[in-house]
Amino acid sequence: MTELPRPARDSWKTSAGFVLALVGSAVGLGNLWRFAYTASTGGGAAFVLVYLLFVFGIGIPILTAELAIGRATGTSPIRALDRIGGPRWRRVGGMFVFAGFAVLSYYSVIMGWVGRVLVDSIRGAIPSDTAGYFAGISTGVGAVLFHLTGIAITALVVQGGIRRGIERAATILMPTLFILLAALAIWSFTLSGAGAGYAFFLRPKLDSLLDGRVIAGAAGQAFFSLSLGMGAIITYASYLQGQQSLPGQAVIVGLGDTSVALLGGLVTFPIVFHFGLADVVLANPSGALFIALPQAFQQLGAAGTLLGAIFFLALYIAAITSAFSMLEVVVSGLIDGWGAPRRRATLLVAVAAALAGIPAALSLDYLSFIDKLVGEALIVLGGVFIAVLTGWVWSRGAAAELTRGFPHPRLQFAWIWLLRTVVPIVLAITFVTTVRQLGPLAEALF
Ligand code: TRP
């Protein structure tokens, strides 16, 4: 019997669509939920400076490396690493797929909170005690239901494929997101108290930079925010066919992602200060978004309902375009590795991720533990492997891939040497620092 030919692999329709999908993956809850909190409590503008250093010195080289691996191999992470590094690297690919799956499982729980607040603000159903409200919606049956809904919408888009699912959604959603956020930032700027908010966010507190945990936090944050270290970028780039300049695209994604993170802070802090809610922000990492902001919007009456709906809609868009990339990592593995049809692969992974996320929807302690373990430690470890693989094992191939559409030999040289030396060392230190904070359980794991 002759084997039926496999259908041609899906691909991006346009370079712009690809870049929007990449920015969609990068811009997410990490920008609007984690960044502002970490910056304001961890050194203000000084933190932002260190963060930028990590984005450009470490993040963009790794982002470029993942793009090169994806485009050169044209296949999902496990097979991609096998192809360029040999069978021993399959295990690292497996770790990526696991990380993608694990992050999706709890990320969609947080996305579920956003969905819940969005629906309740439209219905005008948020009580004045927003702290009690948040405690009620963040765990339990409601949290599970909204988590399941988030996974279902994500799966609906991903089963449509790259071109007709993810690219099409990103092309509509990302410009919408930018417009909504820019409008909100302008409105925030007009509030009295805006100056105090900006100062709280950005006033440089240099002494906090002497704390190794703040530095490691900035590195981990940059990594999470750029969607690195779990094969999401490799997977998206594997659907590329053209001769794009990979460093050029990496820089666009880095700039886009960082500006949304800053914009998020510029939206949030004036509101928080206008309504005198700074204590809430400091008390709880989720306080700014889920307790202070709903309270502020409530005090604004009908206008607040509208502004709240816009804000949480923007947040939901940011989150779901990131969730697409996590789901696609695992789905593309099943398609490329086992020849599974896309629909069936998506359904299978979505059901599994829905189940795996239930513990996170029932316990905040579990959620923050797995966020640190996988969303910080494991992806940074993934980055160490990417650096070693592209810098040492596959450096000729990597250099050749880089020059397609980007003929700058000097930069290519600098890139390889960064990946050989500074990048893996800094990431390894970050990894150890992060695992130390996780306590005995995680130390025993590694
Ligand atoms: N970058 C996204 C955010 O900032 C989250 C994300 C998407 C992610 N894909 C990822 C994080 C891959 C780590 C790895 O919210």
The model's pTM: 0.95
- Give the Å distance between the CA of 235 and the centre of ligand 1: 13
**What mean pLDDT value characterizes the chain?**
92
**Rounded CA separation 63/258 (Å):** 14
CA of 102 to the centre of ligand 1 (A): 12
Structure tokens at 115: 């969905």
Q: Which range has highest mean pLDDT (102-106, 192-196, 409-413)? A: 102-106
Residue range 211-225, pLDDT digits in tens = 888 888 889 999 999
Q: Is the pLDDT of residue 251 over 80?
A: yes
Confidence of residue 145 (pLDDT cuts 50, 70, 90): very high
3-state secondary structure (DSSP) of residue 2: coil
* DSSP 3-state percent helix, strand, coil across the chain (nearest 5): 85, 0, 15
d(CA 402, CA 102): 31
Tell whether ligand 1 has an atom less than 6 A from the beta carbon of residue 221. Answer: no
Q: What is the mean pLDDT of residues 333-358?
A: 97
Residues 251, 247: Cα–Cα separation, whole Å: 6
Indicate if the pLDDT at residue 209 is higher than 80. no
Specify the range with the lowest mean pLDDT, choosing from 46-55, 146-155, 249-258, 361-370: 46-55
Whether ligand 1 lies within 6 angstroms of the CB of 26 is answered as yes
Burial status of residue 52 (CB atoms within 10 A of its CB: 0-12, 13-18, 19 or more): middle
Which three-class secondary structure state does DSSP give residue 4? coil
Cα 379 to ligand 1 centroid, rounded to whole Å: 10
326 Cβ below 6 A of ligand 1:
yes
Distance CA 327, CA 350 (A): 8
Looking at per-residue confidence, does 279 or 396 come out higher? 396
**Cβ of 30 below 6 Å from ligand 1:** yes
- Our answer on whether the CB atom of 25 is closer than 6 Å to any ligand 1 atom is yes
Q: In this structure, which residue's CA is closest to atom 12 in ligand 1?
A: 227
Q: Which of 213, 26, 223, 29 is nearest to 107 (CA)?
A: 29
Residue 1: what pLDDT? 46
pLDDT greater than 90 at residue 395: yes
Indicate if the pLDDT at residue 5 is higher than 50.
Answer: yes
Q: Could you identify the atom of ligand 1 that is nearest to the CA of residue 29?
A: 15
226 Cα: distance to centroid of ligand 1 (angstroms): 6
Residue 3 scores a pLDDT above 60: no
Which whole number is the average pLDDT over 159-182? 97
Asked whether 320 lines ligand 1 (CB < 6 A), one says no
- Cα(339) to ligand 1 centroid in Å equals 26
